[in-house]
């Protein structure tokens, strides 16, 4: 019994809903268990009908979503509070090293016309990209963002067209 039109309705663990993780599959109850699972990304969830909440059971700390009647909202980690210090550290890690390299190459420029006169600008750009990659990698690892699942879903959508 699948109810695919997601009109404004209360969350009922016995129904089928879109998966909040991969946004491609459908979550439904597992036979003989008090849990739900996605048919695409294979994540397992526990549900609270009273609180209209879904919790990812196969991850620690668990991620929770709230049902608003049409879709899942939230994606909050239980017991983890991120504030401005983490944001400031990430921005500092991304921008401070390339700024220092750029200032050093501005105040101490290479000899014009030399073979490696392009190196300071390339090194500054590479420093920015590598530090941005480090911060993005940390975010993906912490939130366990399913990158391969999204690429697989994207490939399925392209092959359907």
Q: Distance (Å, rounded) from C-alpha 60 to C-alpha 161?
A: 37
pLDDT tens across the length of the chain (161 residues)? 444 444 567 877 788 888 888 778 889 988 888 889 988 888 889 888 888 888 888 877 778 888 888 888 876 666 667 788 989 999 999 999 999 999 999 999 999 889 999 999 999 999 999 999 999 998 877 766 667 777 777 787 788 77
Q: What is the pLDDT of residues 122-132, one digit of tens each?
A: 999 999 999 99
Strand partners, 18: 26
Pick from 24, 61, 28: nearest CA to 47: 28
Q: Strand (E) positions, 6-140?
A: 17-18, 26-29, 36-38, 44-48, 53-56, 63-67, 72-77
Spell out the domain ranges in the chain.
Answer: 17-77, 84-154
């Amino acid at each position: 019994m699948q109810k695919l039109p997601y009109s404004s309705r209360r969350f009922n663990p016995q129904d089928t809903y879109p998966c909040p993780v991969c946004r491609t599959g459908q979550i439904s109850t597992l036979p003989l268990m008090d849990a739900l699972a996605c048919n695409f990304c294979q994540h397992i969830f526990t549900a609270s009908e009273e609180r209209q909440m879904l919790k990812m059971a196969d991850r620690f700390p668990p991620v929770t979503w709230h049902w608003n009647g049409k879709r899942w909202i939230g994606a909050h980690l239980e017991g983890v509070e991120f504030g401005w210090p983490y944001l400031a550290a990430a921005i500092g890690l991304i921008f401070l090293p390339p700024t220092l390299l750029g200032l050093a190459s501005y105040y101490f420029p290479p000899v014009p016309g030399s073979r490696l006169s392009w190196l300071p600008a390339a090194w500054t750009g590479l420093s920015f990209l590598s530090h941005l990659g480090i911060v993005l990698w940390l975010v993906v690892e912490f939130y366990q963002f399913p990158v391969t699942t999204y690429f697989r879903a994207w490939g399925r959508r392209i092959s359907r067209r």
